[in-house]
Amino acid sequence: MATFVLIHGGGGSAWDWHLLVPQLTARGHEVVVPELPIEDRSAGFAEFCETVVDAVGDRGDLVVVGHSYGALTAPLIADKLPVRLLVLLTPMVPQPGEKPGDWWEKTGHREVEGLSEEQQFYNGVPAETVAQAAAHGRGQVSAEWNEPWPLDAWPDVPTKVLIAREDRFFPADFQRRVAADRLGITPDEIDGCHAVALSHPEQLADRLTAYLER
């Protein structure tokens, strides 16, 4: 049995994983779903890490999954706890010393024009789930946006990048290029949108647990 530590993205919450959690527990795994202190203006990367480490406690066999903006925090946990595997899901892949606020320009990210927030993030998500999403979003005002990413190098932990083929926010071609440039990794791919844990939770659980067999 592994312990999956699921780190939500920007403006997100534990709710973002609510369809994936039962899929993982049904497969016999434990799941930890911390909520980062993104509404605290004084909280930065150190406080994000503390929140996750406290939530993990003494659990072992850790698989840390960082979704989107959560991929900035996931590698930091591998620098503090004995992590078995890192999975970056439709991620923002960081570089040492780079501020999150600078990531967009430095990677050459370009937002697709003419799409609503729902069309960018939730294409393919059931309408009833999309209708609930706004109630679970949180305003992100935390301090890490202007903090240099603190690691000097990528942690010595097996790392997977998993991207979604129908992602309109971070399109697949963009994700492939960034993963190759920054990590030398060819991403794995799954059907679904940027919020793939909401659009394809069963398939995502299959992919995550399959990594344990390799």
Express each pLDDT in 161-190 by its tens digit. 999 999 999 999 999 999 999 999 999 999
Q: What is the CATH number of the domain that holds 105?
A: 3.40.50.1820
Contact 91, 149 (CB under 8 A): no
Cα distance between residue 151 and residue 149, in whole Å: 6
Residue 214 scores a pLDDT above 80: no
Structure tokens, 134: 């706004």
Q: Does the pLDDT of residue 6 top 90, yes or no?
A: yes
pLDDT attached to residue 213:
87
Q: Where are the beta strands (DSSP E) in the chain?
A: 3-7, 30-32, 62-67, 83-89, 159-164, 188-190
Give the domain extent around 51. Answer: 3-213
Check pLDDT > 80 for residue 90. Answer: yes
Question: What integer pLDDT is reported at residue 112 of this predicted model?
Answer: 84
Counted domains in the chain: 1
Other CB atoms within 10 A of residue 54 CB? 9
pLDDT of 111 strictly over 90: no
